[in-house]
Amino acid sequence: MRGLWLKDFYSIKMYARQYLLLLAFFMIFGISMGNSHYIMWMSLVLGLNLGFAVFPADESGGYGYMLAAPVSRRMIVQVRYLFGLAAGFLIFLCSGAGEIINRMLSQKPTEFWLGEMAVVLGIYLIFVGVLTPVSYRFGVEKARVVMLGLVVVPMVIVFLGVKLIQISVITDALDKMFPQTQTAYGGTFAFLGVGLLVMGISYRLSVRIFERREF
Amino acid sequence: MDAAIHLKDVTKRYDGFTLDHITMDIPKGAIVGLVGENGAGKTTLLKAILQMLDIEEGEIAISGRSLAELGSQWKDQAGVILSGVEFASQMHARQLGNCMRSIYKGWQDEVFEKYLRDFQIDKKKLIKDYSKGMKMKLDLAVALSHQAKILIFDEATSGLDPVARDDILDILLEFIQDEEHTVLVSSHIISDLEKVADYIAFLHKGKLKFYMNKDELLYRFGVVHCTPEQYENIPERYVEGCRKSRFGCEALIRDRESFQKECPEYTVDSPNIEEIILFYVKGETR
Protein backbone atom coordinates (compact mmCIF):
# COMPACT_ATOMS: atom_id res chain seq x y z
CA MET A 1 0.00 0.00 0.00
CA ARG A 2 2.84 2.39 0.81
CA GLY A 3 4.10 2.11 -2.78
CA LEU A 4 0.72 3.24 -4.12
CA TRP A 5 0.62 6.13 -1.65
CA LEU A 6 4.09 7.18 -2.77
CA LYS A 7 2.99 7.07 -6.38
CA ASP A 8 0.14 9.49 -5.71
CA PHE A 9 2.33 11.68 -3.57
CA TYR A 10 4.98 11.95 -6.27
CA SER A 11 2.30 12.68 -8.87
CA ILE A 12 0.86 15.52 -6.79
CA LYS A 13 4.25 16.87 -5.77
CA MET A 14 4.66 18.31 -9.26
CA TYR A 15 1.67 20.57 -8.67
CA ALA A 16 2.26 21.17 -4.96
CA ARG A 17 3.66 24.62 -5.52
CA GLN A 18 0.61 25.75 -7.52
CA TYR A 19 -1.78 24.31 -4.96
CA LEU A 20 0.05 25.96 -2.08
CA LEU A 21 0.16 29.32 -3.85
CA LEU A 22 -3.55 29.15 -4.62
CA LEU A 23 -4.32 28.18 -1.06
CA ALA A 24 -2.21 31.03 0.27
CA PHE A 25 -4.00 33.41 -2.09
CA PHE A 26 -7.43 32.24 -0.95
CA MET A 27 -6.46 32.54 2.69
CA ILE A 28 -5.02 36.04 2.29
CA PHE A 29 -8.01 37.15 0.25
CA GLY A 30 -10.48 35.65 2.70
CA ILE A 31 -8.73 37.05 5.76
CA SER A 32 -8.41 40.50 4.21
CA MET A 33 -12.16 40.46 3.51
CA GLY A 34 -12.77 39.22 7.04
CA ASN A 35 -14.60 36.30 5.49
CA SER A 36 -13.53 32.82 6.50
CA HIS A 37 -16.46 31.33 4.54
CA TYR A 38 -14.53 32.17 1.39
CA ILE A 39 -11.50 30.19 2.61
CA MET A 40 -13.60 27.18 3.49
CA TRP A 41 -15.46 26.98 0.22
CA MET A 42 -12.41 27.62 -1.96
CA SER A 43 -10.52 24.99 0.07
CA LEU A 44 -13.33 22.64 -0.92
CA VAL A 45 -12.71 23.36 -4.61
CA LEU A 46 -8.97 22.84 -4.18
CA GLY A 47 -9.50 19.67 -2.21
CA LEU A 48 -11.69 18.23 -4.97
CA ASN A 49 -9.09 19.09 -7.58
CA LEU A 50 -6.41 17.52 -5.44
CA GLY A 51 -8.44 14.41 -4.77
CA PHE A 52 -9.03 13.78 -8.45
CA ALA A 53 -5.70 14.95 -9.83
CA VAL A 54 -4.28 11.42 -9.82
CA PHE A 55 -7.11 9.77 -11.71
CA PRO A 56 -6.05 10.69 -15.26
CA ALA A 57 -2.58 9.14 -14.84
CA ASP A 58 -4.14 5.94 -13.52
CA GLU A 59 -6.64 5.86 -16.37
CA SER A 60 -3.97 6.25 -19.03
CA GLY A 61 -1.95 3.20 -18.03
CA GLY A 62 -1.37 3.31 -14.29
CA TYR A 63 -4.03 0.72 -13.52
CA GLY A 64 -2.48 -1.75 -15.93
CA TYR A 65 0.92 -1.28 -14.34
CA MET A 66 -0.47 -1.76 -10.83
CA LEU A 67 -2.42 -4.86 -11.80
CA ALA A 68 0.73 -6.44 -13.21
CA ALA A 69 2.24 -6.04 -9.74
CA PRO A 70 1.31 -7.94 -6.54
CA VAL A 71 -1.37 -5.39 -5.71
CA SER A 72 -4.99 -6.37 -5.25
CA ARG A 73 -7.78 -4.41 -6.88
CA ARG A 74 -9.28 -3.79 -3.47
CA MET A 75 -6.05 -2.20 -2.30
CA ILE A 76 -5.96 0.11 -5.32
CA VAL A 77 -9.45 1.34 -4.43
CA GLN A 78 -8.58 1.61 -0.73
CA VAL A 79 -5.62 3.86 -1.46
CA ARG A 80 -7.78 6.04 -3.68
CA TYR A 81 -10.32 6.56 -0.91
CA LEU A 82 -7.68 7.13 1.73
CA PHE A 83 -6.11 9.69 -0.57
CA GLY A 84 -9.50 11.36 -0.91
CA LEU A 85 -9.90 11.42 2.87
CA ALA A 86 -6.40 12.86 3.26
CA ALA A 87 -7.29 15.66 0.84
CA GLY A 88 -10.42 16.27 2.91
CA PHE A 89 -8.35 16.46 6.04
CA LEU A 90 -6.13 18.98 4.31
CA ILE A 91 -9.23 21.09 3.64
CA PHE A 92 -10.08 20.94 7.30
CA LEU A 93 -6.61 22.03 8.33
CA CYS A 94 -6.45 24.91 5.86
CA SER A 95 -9.94 26.14 6.63
CA GLY A 96 -9.32 25.83 10.33
CA ALA A 97 -6.08 27.77 10.02
CA GLY A 98 -7.82 30.47 8.02
CA GLU A 99 -10.61 30.70 10.56
CA ILE A 100 -8.24 30.91 13.53
CA ILE A 101 -6.23 33.68 11.85
CA ASN A 102 -9.45 35.44 10.93
CA ARG A 103 -10.69 35.27 14.52
CA MET A 104 -7.40 36.65 15.79
CA LEU A 105 -7.50 39.57 13.35
CA SER A 106 -11.22 40.25 13.23
CA GLN A 107 -13.29 42.17 15.75
CA LYS A 108 -16.25 39.91 15.12
CA PRO A 109 -15.47 36.25 15.53
CA THR A 110 -17.49 33.98 13.25
CA GLU A 111 -19.96 31.79 15.07
CA PHE A 112 -20.64 28.19 14.29
CA TRP A 113 -17.55 27.95 12.09
CA LEU A 114 -17.09 24.36 13.16
CA GLY A 115 -20.62 23.68 12.02
CA GLU A 116 -19.95 25.28 8.64
CA MET A 117 -16.70 23.35 8.42
CA ALA A 118 -18.65 20.15 9.03
CA VAL A 119 -21.00 21.06 6.18
CA VAL A 120 -18.07 21.77 3.85
CA LEU A 121 -16.47 18.45 4.72
CA GLY A 122 -19.80 16.70 4.33
CA ILE A 123 -20.21 18.19 0.86
CA TYR A 124 -16.65 17.19 0.01
CA LEU A 125 -17.26 13.61 1.10
CA ILE A 126 -20.50 13.44 -0.88
CA PHE A 127 -18.74 14.73 -3.99
CA VAL A 128 -15.92 12.21 -3.62
CA GLY A 129 -18.40 9.49 -2.77
CA VAL A 130 -20.38 10.09 -5.96
CA LEU A 131 -17.54 10.85 -8.34
CA THR A 132 -15.13 8.04 -7.46
CA PRO A 133 -17.34 5.12 -8.53
CA VAL A 134 -18.41 7.14 -11.59
CA SER A 135 -14.71 7.49 -12.48
CA TYR A 136 -14.12 3.79 -12.10
CA ARG A 137 -17.18 2.89 -14.12
CA PHE A 138 -17.22 5.52 -16.86
CA GLY A 139 -13.80 7.15 -16.73
CA VAL A 140 -12.42 10.45 -15.49
CA GLU A 141 -13.83 12.64 -18.23
CA LYS A 142 -17.41 11.59 -17.59
CA ALA A 143 -16.82 12.02 -13.86
CA ARG A 144 -15.77 15.62 -14.52
CA VAL A 145 -19.05 16.20 -16.35
CA VAL A 146 -20.95 14.74 -13.40
CA MET A 147 -18.96 16.99 -11.05
CA LEU A 148 -19.96 20.01 -13.10
CA GLY A 149 -23.54 18.86 -12.91
CA LEU A 150 -23.35 18.45 -9.14
CA VAL A 151 -22.15 22.04 -8.86
CA VAL A 152 -24.10 23.75 -11.62
CA VAL A 153 -27.53 22.20 -11.11
CA PRO A 154 -27.93 23.25 -7.46
CA MET A 155 -26.54 26.70 -8.35
CA VAL A 156 -29.09 27.09 -11.13
CA ILE A 157 -31.89 25.95 -8.86
CA VAL A 158 -30.87 28.41 -6.17
CA PHE A 159 -30.38 31.20 -8.70
CA LEU A 160 -33.78 30.65 -10.29
CA GLY A 161 -35.35 30.24 -6.89
CA VAL A 162 -33.90 33.53 -5.73
CA LYS A 163 -35.19 35.19 -8.90
CA LEU A 164 -38.66 33.75 -8.51
CA ILE A 165 -39.09 34.25 -4.77
CA GLN A 166 -38.32 37.35 -2.74
CA ILE A 167 -35.08 36.87 -0.91
CA SER A 168 -36.47 38.00 2.43
CA VAL A 169 -39.11 35.27 2.24
CA ILE A 170 -36.34 32.70 1.90
CA THR A 171 -34.11 34.12 4.62
CA ASP A 172 -37.04 34.40 7.06
CA ALA A 173 -38.05 30.81 6.32
CA LEU A 174 -34.46 29.61 6.72
CA ASP A 175 -34.10 31.47 10.03
CA LYS A 176 -37.26 29.76 11.29
CA MET A 177 -36.14 26.35 10.01
CA PHE A 178 -32.53 26.64 11.16
CA PRO A 179 -32.28 28.95 14.14
CA GLN A 180 -28.83 29.27 15.56
CA THR A 181 -29.46 26.74 18.22
CA GLN A 182 -27.61 23.71 19.43
CA THR A 183 -30.00 21.56 17.38
CA ALA A 184 -29.03 23.34 14.18
CA TYR A 185 -25.38 23.13 15.18
CA GLY A 186 -25.69 19.40 15.76
CA GLY A 187 -27.47 19.12 12.44
CA THR A 188 -24.37 20.32 10.63
CA PHE A 189 -22.42 17.46 12.13
CA ALA A 190 -25.18 15.09 11.11
CA PHE A 191 -24.52 16.33 7.59
CA LEU A 192 -20.90 15.30 8.04
CA GLY A 193 -22.17 11.91 9.16
CA VAL A 194 -24.20 11.66 5.95
CA GLY A 195 -21.02 12.40 4.01
CA LEU A 196 -19.17 9.59 5.79
CA LEU A 197 -22.06 7.22 5.14
CA VAL A 198 -22.01 8.11 1.45
CA MET A 199 -18.26 7.45 1.40
CA GLY A 200 -18.78 4.04 2.99
CA ILE A 201 -21.41 3.02 0.44
CA SER A 202 -19.34 4.52 -2.35
CA TYR A 203 -16.27 2.51 -1.30
CA ARG A 204 -18.13 -0.78 -1.44
CA LEU A 205 -19.58 0.15 -4.82
CA SER A 206 -16.19 1.18 -6.16
CA VAL A 207 -14.60 -2.08 -5.04
CA ARG A 208 -17.31 -4.03 -6.83
CA ILE A 209 -16.96 -1.96 -10.01
CA PHE A 210 -13.18 -2.09 -10.05
CA GLU A 211 -13.01 -5.82 -9.34
CA ARG A 212 -15.12 -6.47 -12.41
CA ARG A 213 -13.42 -3.98 -14.67
CA GLU A 214 -11.23 -5.33 -17.47
CA PHE A 215 -8.08 -3.70 -18.76
CA MET B 1 9.40 -30.74 -17.04
CA ASP B 2 7.18 -28.65 -14.66
CA ALA B 3 4.95 -26.03 -16.19
CA ALA B 4 5.61 -22.51 -14.94
CA ILE B 5 2.38 -21.40 -16.60
CA HIS B 6 -0.35 -23.85 -17.56
CA LEU B 7 -3.10 -22.80 -19.94
CA LYS B 8 -6.00 -25.08 -20.73
CA ASP B 9 -8.84 -24.14 -23.09
CA VAL B 10 -8.42 -20.47 -22.26
CA THR B 11 -11.20 -18.59 -24.01
CA LYS B 12 -12.13 -14.93 -24.06
CA ARG B 13 -14.85 -13.51 -26.26
CA TYR B 14 -15.26 -9.97 -27.55
CA ASP B 15 -17.45 -8.61 -30.31
CA GLY B 16 -15.71 -9.66 -33.49
CA PHE B 17 -12.89 -11.57 -31.83
CA THR B 18 -12.47 -14.70 -29.75
CA LEU B 19 -9.39 -16.01 -28.04
CA ASP B 20 -10.28 -19.56 -28.78
CA HIS B 21 -9.43 -22.44 -26.45
CA ILE B 22 -5.75 -21.81 -26.02
CA THR B 23 -3.97 -24.76 -24.48
CA MET B 24 -0.27 -24.79 -23.80
CA ASP B 25 2.24 -25.28 -21.02
CA ILE B 26 5.11 -22.86 -20.55
CA PRO B 27 7.87 -25.04 -19.13
CA LYS B 28 10.19 -23.88 -16.37
CA GLY B 29 13.60 -22.85 -17.51
CA ALA B 30 12.46 -22.00 -21.04
CA ILE B 31 11.98 -18.93 -23.16
CA VAL B 32 8.68 -19.12 -25.02
CA GLY B 33 8.12 -16.72 -27.87
CA LEU B 34 4.55 -15.70 -28.60
CA VAL B 35 4.13 -14.49 -32.16
CA GLY B 36 1.24 -13.43 -34.32
CA GLU B 37 -0.01 -10.56 -36.40
CA ASN B 38 -1.57 -7.44 -34.89
CA GLY B 39 -4.87 -8.36 -33.28
CA ALA B 40 -4.04 -12.06 -33.08
CA GLY B 41 -4.66 -12.13 -29.33
CA LYS B 42 -1.15 -12.06 -27.88
CA THR B 43 -1.74 -9.17 -25.49
CA THR B 44 -5.17 -10.54 -24.58
CA LEU B 45 -3.58 -13.83 -23.61
CA LEU B 46 -0.89 -12.14 -21.53
CA LYS B 47 -3.51 -9.98 -19.80
CA ALA B 48 -5.57 -13.07 -19.03
CA ILE B 49 -2.53 -14.62 -17.34
CA LEU B 50 -1.99 -11.40 -15.39
CA GLN B 51 -5.65 -11.36 -14.27
CA MET B 52 -6.26 -8.04 -15.95
CA LEU B 53 -9.30 -9.55 -17.59
CA ASP B 54 -11.54 -12.53 -16.87
CA ILE B 55 -11.63 -15.55 -19.10
CA GLU B 56 -14.92 -17.15 -19.96
CA GLU B 57 -13.70 -20.69 -20.18
CA GLY B 58 -10.62 -22.65 -19.30
CA GLU B 59 -8.05 -22.52 -16.57
CA ILE B 60 -4.75 -20.84 -15.92
CA ALA B 61 -2.30 -22.10 -13.33
CA ILE B 62 1.05 -20.81 -12.14
CA SER B 63 3.45 -23.52 -10.94
CA GLY B 64 0.56 -25.91 -10.52
CA ARG B 65 -1.75 -23.56 -8.60
CA SER B 66 -4.78 -21.92 -10.17
CA LEU B 67 -5.02 -18.15 -10.39
CA ALA B 68 -8.17 -18.18 -8.28
CA GLU B 69 -6.21 -19.87 -5.50
CA LEU B 70 -3.20 -17.56 -5.82
CA GLY B 71 -4.88 -14.15 -5.86
CA SER B 72 -2.51 -11.36 -6.82
CA GLN B 73 0.46 -12.26 -4.63
CA TRP B 74 2.04 -14.60 -7.20
CA LYS B 75 2.95 -11.48 -9.21
CA ASP B 76 5.59 -10.75 -6.62
CA GLN B 77 7.56 -13.37 -8.56
CA ALA B 78 6.65 -12.01 -11.98
CA GLY B 79 8.48 -9.32 -13.87
CA VAL B 80 6.12 -7.76 -16.38
CA ILE B 81 6.46 -5.41 -19.28
CA LEU B 82 3.21 -4.53 -21.01
CA SER B 83 2.89 -2.14 -23.87
CA GLY B 84 0.71 0.89 -23.26
CA VAL B 85 0.97 0.95 -19.47
CA GLU B 86 3.07 3.17 -17.29
CA PHE B 87 3.13 3.73 -13.59
CA ALA B 88 3.29 7.47 -13.21
CA SER B 89 5.09 9.60 -15.73
CA GLN B 90 5.45 12.48 -13.26
CA MET B 91 8.13 10.58 -11.37
CA HIS B 92 11.76 9.98 -12.07
CA ALA B 93 13.53 6.63 -11.90
CA ARG B 94 14.66 6.93 -8.30
CA GLN B 95 11.14 7.71 -7.11
CA LEU B 96 9.85 4.77 -9.13
CA GLY B 97 12.38 2.61 -7.31
CA ASN B 98 11.06 3.90 -3.97
CA CYS B 99 7.53 2.88 -4.95
CA MET B 100 8.59 -0.53 -6.22
CA ARG B 101 10.57 -1.21 -3.05
CA SER B 102 7.33 -1.01 -1.12
CA ILE B 103 5.37 -3.10 -3.61
CA TYR B 104 7.72 -6.01 -4.26
CA LYS B 105 8.98 -8.07 -1.32
CA GLY B 106 12.07 -9.20 -3.21
CA TRP B 107 13.06 -5.73 -4.38
CA GLN B 108 16.81 -5.16 -4.62
CA ASP B 109 17.93 -1.55 -4.76
CA GLU B 110 21.47 -2.41 -5.75
CA VAL B 111 20.29 -4.48 -8.74
CA PHE B 112 17.96 -1.67 -9.84
CA GLU B 113 20.79 0.87 -9.57
CA LYS B 114 23.04 -1.43 -11.58
CA TYR B 115 20.52 -1.71 -14.39
CA LEU B 116 19.94 2.04 -14.38
CA ARG B 117 23.70 2.48 -14.85
CA ASP B 118 24.00 -0.25 -17.48
CA PHE B 119 21.06 1.13 -19.45
CA GLN B 120 22.31 4.69 -18.94
CA ILE B 121 19.01 5.88 -17.55
CA ASP B 122 19.00 9.39 -16.16
CA LYS B 123 17.72 9.00 -12.60
CA LYS B 124 16.64 12.61 -12.23
CA LYS B 125 14.78 12.99 -15.51
CA LEU B 126 11.00 12.68 -15.43
CA ILE B 127 9.69 9.50 -16.99
CA LYS B 128 7.33 11.48 -19.22
CA ASP B 129 10.40 13.01 -20.88
CA TYR B 130 11.99 9.65 -21.70
CA SER B 131 12.16 8.32 -25.22
CA LYS B 132 10.21 5.16 -25.95
CA GLY B 133 13.38 3.11 -25.77
CA MET B 134 14.34 4.59 -22.40
CA LYS B 135 10.91 3.83 -20.96
CA MET B 136 11.25 0.26 -22.12
CA LYS B 137 14.67 -0.04 -20.49
CA LEU B 138 13.32 1.41 -17.26
CA ASP B 139 10.47 -1.13 -17.29
CA LEU B 140 13.04 -3.84 -17.88
CA ALA B 141 15.15 -2.60 -14.98
CA VAL B 142 12.11 -2.79 -12.71
CA ALA B 143 11.15 -6.25 -13.98
CA LEU B 144 14.61 -7.62 -13.28
CA SER B 145 15.12 -6.03 -9.88
CA HIS B 146 12.81 -8.00 -7.59
CA GLN B 147 14.03 -11.60 -7.95
CA ALA B 148 11.27 -12.54 -10.37
CA LYS B 149 10.98 -16.18 -11.38
CA ILE B 150 8.78 -15.50 -14.41
CA LEU B 151 9.19 -12.71 -16.93
CA ILE B 152 6.16 -11.80 -19.02
CA PHE B 153 7.06 -9.33 -21.75
CA ASP B 154 4.72 -7.85 -24.31
CA GLU B 155 6.72 -6.29 -27.14
CA ALA B 156 9.62 -5.61 -24.82
CA THR B 157 12.15 -5.05 -27.60
CA SER B 158 10.07 -2.88 -29.89
CA GLY B 159 11.32 0.66 -30.18
CA LEU B 160 14.86 -0.30 -29.20
CA ASP B 161 17.93 0.00 -31.36
CA PRO B 162 19.64 -3.24 -32.44
CA VAL B 163 22.38 -2.94 -29.84
CA ALA B 164 19.89 -2.47 -27.00
CA ARG B 165 17.78 -5.36 -28.32
CA ASP B 166 20.82 -7.58 -28.38
CA ASP B 167 21.66 -6.60 -24.78
CA ILE B 168 18.15 -7.48 -23.68
CA LEU B 169 18.25 -10.82 -25.42
CA ASP B 170 21.51 -11.59 -23.63
CA ILE B 171 19.84 -10.69 -20.35
CA LEU B 172 16.98 -13.09 -21.11
CA LEU B 173 19.40 -15.90 -21.92
CA GLU B 174 21.25 -15.28 -18.68
CA PHE B 175 17.96 -15.15 -16.77
CA ILE B 176 17.01 -18.73 -17.60
CA GLN B 177 20.42 -20.26 -16.99
CA ASP B 178 19.47 -21.95 -13.72
CA GLU B 179 16.37 -23.58 -15.28
CA GLU B 180 14.18 -22.27 -12.49
CA HIS B 181 13.33 -19.08 -14.34
CA THR B 182 10.92 -18.74 -17.22
CA VAL B 183 10.31 -16.16 -19.90
CA LEU B 184 7.15 -15.64 -21.94
CA VAL B 185 7.77 -12.94 -24.50
CA SER B 186 5.59 -11.69 -27.32
CA SER B 187 7.21 -9.86 -30.17
CA HIS B 188 6.82 -8.79 -33.74
CA ILE B 189 10.56 -8.97 -34.21
CA ILE B 190 10.68 -12.64 -34.95
CA SER B 191 14.40 -12.63 -35.61
CA ASP B 192 14.89 -11.77 -31.92
CA LEU B 193 12.81 -14.73 -30.87
CA GLU B 194 14.62 -16.97 -33.28
CA LYS B 195 17.84 -16.11 -31.46
CA VAL B 196 16.69 -16.86 -27.93
CA ALA B 197 13.39 -18.75 -27.82
CA ASP B 198 13.18 -22.43 -26.99
CA TYR B 199 9.54 -22.67 -28.01
CA ILE B 200 7.41 -20.71 -30.42
CA ALA B 201 3.67 -20.27 -30.05
CA PHE B 202 1.91 -18.79 -33.04
CA LEU B 203 -1.46 -17.13 -32.58
CA HIS B 204 -3.57 -16.27 -35.60
CA LYS B 205 -7.02 -14.68 -35.28
CA GLY B 206 -7.36 -15.90 -31.71
CA LYS B 207 -6.38 -19.49 -32.41
CA LEU B 208 -3.17 -21.24 -31.49
CA LYS B 209 -1.91 -22.47 -34.85
CA PHE B 210 1.15 -24.19 -33.49
CA TYR B 211 3.19 -24.43 -30.34
CA MET B 212 6.48 -26.18 -30.92
CA ASN B 213 10.06 -26.44 -29.93
CA LYS B 214 11.86 -23.93 -32.13
CA ASP B 215 14.43 -26.38 -33.48
CA GLU B 216 11.75 -28.94 -34.21
CA LEU B 217 9.72 -26.24 -35.97
CA LEU B 218 12.61 -25.30 -38.20
CA TYR B 219 13.39 -28.94 -38.84
CA ARG B 220 9.84 -30.05 -39.52
CA PHE B 221 8.92 -27.40 -42.07
CA GLY B 222 10.48 -26.73 -45.42
CA VAL B 223 9.86 -24.47 -48.41
CA VAL B 224 9.64 -25.70 -51.97
CA HIS B 225 10.08 -23.33 -54.88
CA CYS B 226 8.42 -24.68 -57.97
CA THR B 227 6.23 -24.02 -60.99
CA PRO B 228 2.42 -24.13 -60.68
CA GLU B 229 2.39 -27.47 -62.48
CA GLN B 230 4.95 -28.94 -60.10
CA TYR B 231 2.96 -27.57 -57.16
CA GLU B 232 -0.14 -29.47 -58.33
CA ASN B 233 1.87 -32.71 -58.12
CA ILE B 234 2.81 -32.25 -54.49
CA PRO B 235 0.68 -34.55 -52.28
CA GLU B 236 -1.86 -32.42 -50.47
CA ARG B 237 -1.09 -33.89 -47.05
CA TYR B 238 2.30 -32.19 -47.09
CA VAL B 239 1.16 -28.71 -48.05
CA GLU B 240 0.60 -26.29 -45.19
CA GLY B 241 0.26 -23.27 -47.45
CA CYS B 242 1.22 -21.88 -50.80
CA ARG B 243 2.09 -18.47 -52.16
CA LYS B 244 1.80 -17.90 -55.85
CA SER B 245 3.33 -15.13 -57.86
CA ARG B 246 4.03 -14.58 -61.53
CA PHE B 247 7.47 -16.06 -60.98
CA GLY B 248 6.17 -19.37 -59.65
CA CYS B 249 4.96 -20.98 -56.43
CA GLU B 250 6.33 -21.33 -52.95
CA ALA B 251 4.86 -24.10 -50.86
CA LEU B 252 5.33 -24.60 -47.13
CA ILE B 253 5.87 -28.28 -46.55
CA ARG B 254 5.13 -29.94 -43.22
CA ASP B 255 6.98 -33.11 -42.30
CA ARG B 256 9.95 -32.27 -44.52
CA GLU B 257 11.77 -35.52 -43.89
CA SER B 258 8.93 -37.73 -45.15
CA PHE B 259 8.29 -35.43 -48.09
CA GLN B 260 11.92 -35.58 -49.19
CA LYS B 261 11.82 -39.40 -49.11
CA GLU B 262 8.59 -39.52 -51.07
CA CYS B 263 9.33 -36.71 -53.52
CA PRO B 264 13.10 -36.55 -53.90
CA GLU B 265 12.80 -34.57 -57.13
CA TYR B 266 11.85 -31.43 -55.18
CA THR B 267 14.44 -29.24 -53.51
CA VAL B 268 13.37 -28.29 -50.03
CA ASP B 269 14.90 -25.24 -48.40
CA SER B 270 15.01 -24.46 -44.72
CA PRO B 271 12.64 -21.67 -43.78
CA ASN B 272 12.94 -19.22 -40.97
CA ILE B 273 10.12 -18.67 -38.49
CA GLU B 274 8.99 -15.49 -40.19
CA GLU B 275 8.50 -17.33 -43.47
CA ILE B 276 6.52 -20.07 -41.74
CA ILE B 277 4.24 -17.51 -40.18
CA LEU B 278 3.74 -15.63 -43.44
CA PHE B 279 2.67 -18.86 -45.09
CA TYR B 280 0.13 -19.45 -42.35
CA VAL B 281 -1.24 -15.93 -42.57
CA LYS B 282 -1.06 -15.20 -46.29
CA GLY B 283 -0.73 -18.63 -47.82
CA GLU B 284 -3.46 -20.35 -49.77
CA THR B 285 -4.50 -23.92 -49.33
CA ARG B 286 -5.92 -26.17 -51.99
Q: Which chain B residues are Cβ-neighbours of A14 within 8 angstroms?
A: 90
Task: Tell which B residues from 8 to 67 touch A, by Cβ distance under 8 Å.
Answer: 47, 50-54
A72 and B71 within 8 Å at the Cβ level: the answer is: yes
Tell me what the mean pLDDT of segment A138-162 comes to: 78
Distance from CA of A81 to the nearest CA of B (A): 18
Q: Which of A3, A62, A214 sits opposite B52 (nearest CB)?
A: A214
Question: If we measure between CA atoms, which residue out of B149, B75, A121 comes closest to residue B67?
Answer: B75
- Selecting from B85, B101, B152 the residue whose C-beta is nearest the C-beta of A65 gives B85
Longest CA–CA separation in chain A, Å:
60
- Mean pLDDT, rounded, for A23-52: 78
Q: Which residue of B has its CA nearest to A54?
A: B88
Instruction: Tell which wins on pLDDT, B171 or A186.
Output: B171
pLDDT at A110 over 60: no
C-alpha dihedral over A146, A150, A153, A159, to 10 degrees?
A: -150
DSSP character string of A43-94: HHHHHHHHHHTTHHHIIIIIHHHHHTTT--HHHHHHHHHHHHHHHHHHHHHH
ipTM score = 0.82
Q: What is the per-residue pLDDT for B286?
A: 64
Q: How does residue A107 score in pLDDT terms, banded at 50, 70 and 90?
A: low
- Contact assignment for B82 to A65 by CB distance below 8 Å: yes
Least confident of A62-76, A150-164, A172-186, B84-98: A172-186
State how far the Cα of B22 lies from the Cα of A43, in Å rounded to an integer: 54
**DSSP H helices in chain B:** 42-49, 67-70, 93-103, 109-118, 132-143, 162-175, 190-196, 214-220, 228-232, 256-262, 273-282
Q: Max alpha carbon distance in chain B (Å)?
A: 67
pLDDT of amino acid A94:
79
* A94 vs B175: which has the higher pLDDT: B175
Model pLDDT, residue A186: 61
Is pLDDT at A67 greater than 60 in this prediction?
yes
pLDDT of residue B1: 53
Q: How confident is the model at residue A168 (pLDDT cuts 50, 70, 90)?
A: low
Task: Collect all residues of chain B within an 8 Å Cβ-Cβ radius of residue A1.
Answer: 102
Looking at domain B3-214, what is its CATH homologous superfamily? P-loop containing nucleotide triphosphate hydrolases (3.40.50.300)
Over chain B (286 residues), what is each successive 10-residue block's mean pLDDT?
88 94 95 92 95 94 92 93 78 91 94 93 88 87 94 87 87 88 91 91 94 92 91 89 87 90 91 89 75
Q: How far apart are CA B162 and CA B150, in angstroms?
A: 24
How far is A75 from chain B, CA to nearest CA, in Å?
11
Instruction: Name the residue facing A3 among B53, B54, B103 (closest C-beta).
Output: B103
Q: How far apart are CA B14 and CA B174, in angstroms?
A: 38
Residue A138 contacts by C-beta under 8 Å, 6 or more apart in sequence? none
